[in-house]
Amino acid sequence: MIDTSSAFTNRDMNGKYDLRVHLEQAAPIPLKVSFDCHRGELVALVGPSGSGKSTVLRCIAGLNTPRDGQVVCNGVEWLNTDRGLNEPPQKRAVGIVFQSYALFPHLSALENVTVAMQHISADQRKSRALQLLRTVNLEGLEQRRSHQLSGGQQQRIALARALAREPSALLLDEPFSSVDQTTRRKLQRELAGLRGRMAHPIILVTHDVEEACLLADRVCILHRGQSLDIGSPAKILNSPRHKLAARLVGQMNVFEGRIIEHQAQRNVTLLRWLDYELETRHCPRFAAGSTVDWVIPPQNILLHQRVRPSRGERENPVHGTIDELVVLGEVASVTLLIDNRSDTTLTFNLPMHVVQRNRLEAQDQISVSLRAEGIHLMPRNEEDGE
């Protein structure tokens, strides 16, 4: 597992990051997490159930206290265990949107928002609350109580109430998991639109990698309380730090290989995989003869068309038998047994028109190319294994 704590502790207190978090403890829930979040940036915490995502959020908000850690927002320390500092939740300028909404059922939408405005004068609360309800597209529903509203509308109230605190940081804990898929997509689009008008660092907790990549500027992968990797969605998906991080973001084409040699003049590293010699991007940090893990995202696997071969098919061609071809709307998910090895498969998607044009069926023999630019090499470290 990687240790990012040094990157955290070496940053200047008043540097460019508006929210900085470092948490460590062995029990009751193990934590070893460090990350930063810029003003106006959204960082998504992603991982399976039990990975510590919500615990991290609760530590930021002051609802949980780690054994060791530091939380700094806009240059103000909320937590510093070395100094015995632990500000209570009410003194931390955070807005929180919970998975369960946590609305007051006996209050109207308007009252649910104004209740979070104790920091401003009473005569300003109603106009400010009405403005926030308009911002989240709830104009005209101000007097309705939560049981009279849909799940999506309740979630919008929860967001308006979180913003009503005028927070320095906005924390979203699985905010869309309790609504149907159509409403979820709509709320995601609305949040993406709102972000352009927000100056807050935003932390989103989600188990949905696709949602994280749609909404986040950076994604932090958590596993058993540890931060395994952090980076842009493209980096996390296409260039994961190691095998476990690749698996946790849903990459299925993860394999072991051996470095043959580096050819700097061609900007190529040669990789032995099964009986194939694959060309990859030049990566001299791995010594010739060393064993590595490698991953290829499915979009970098190209079918050799039966009806019209192309010159591009000479790039890392591999062969196999279609084990499964599952139609999923306008695409088909293909599982290919490489050289008929039952323990080695490539998984990728094809548009249905390509499947139909090539008359593909299960048990067909086909060839594909693995794009050299799409192959990403990773260190083989047993501590990173599953």
The tokens describing 27, both together, are 């029990």
Q: What is the pLDDT of residue 3?
A: 38
Are 78 and 194 contained in the same domain?
Answer: yes
Are 226 and 314 contained in the same domain?
Answer: no
- Residues (pLDDT < 50) of the chain are 1-15, 382-386
Are 60 and 124 contained in the same domain?
Answer: yes
How do strand 291-295 and strand 376-379 relate by DSSP bridges? antiparallel
Are 260 and 205 contained in the same domain?
Answer: no
Are 111 and 207 contained in the same domain?
Answer: yes
Can you list the alpha helix ranges (DSSP code H) found in the chain?
Answer: 5-9, 53-61, 109-114, 122-135, 151-164, 181-195, 209-215, 233-238, 243-248, 352-357
Whole-number Å distance between alpha carbons of 66 and 129:
35
Are 44 and 120 contained in the same domain?
Answer: yes
Are 97 and 224 contained in the same domain?
Answer: yes
Are 168 and 223 contained in the same domain?
Answer: yes
DSSP string, 38-102: -TT-EEEEE-STTSSHHHHHHHHHTSS--SEEEEEETTEEEEEGGGTEE--GGGS-EEEE-TT--
Range of the domain at 355: 298-370
Whole-number Å distance between alpha carbons of 296 and 41:
29
Contact, 201 vs 38, CB < 8 A?
A: yes
Q: How many domains would you assign to the chain?
A: 3
Domain boundary (248, 280, 308) is at 248
Are 96 and 235 contained in the same domain?
Answer: yes
pTM of the model: 0.86
Query: Is residue 57 exposed (0-12), middle (13-18) or buried (19+ Cβ within 10 Å)?
Result: buried
Are 86 and 167 contained in the same domain?
Answer: yes
Q: What is the pLDDT of residue 17?
A: 61
Contact, 276 vs 341, CB < 8 A?
A: no
Are 244 and 220 contained in the same domain?
Answer: yes
Are 348 and 285 contained in the same domain?
Answer: no
Q: What is the pLDDT of residue 87?
A: 96
CATH for 61: 3.40.50.300
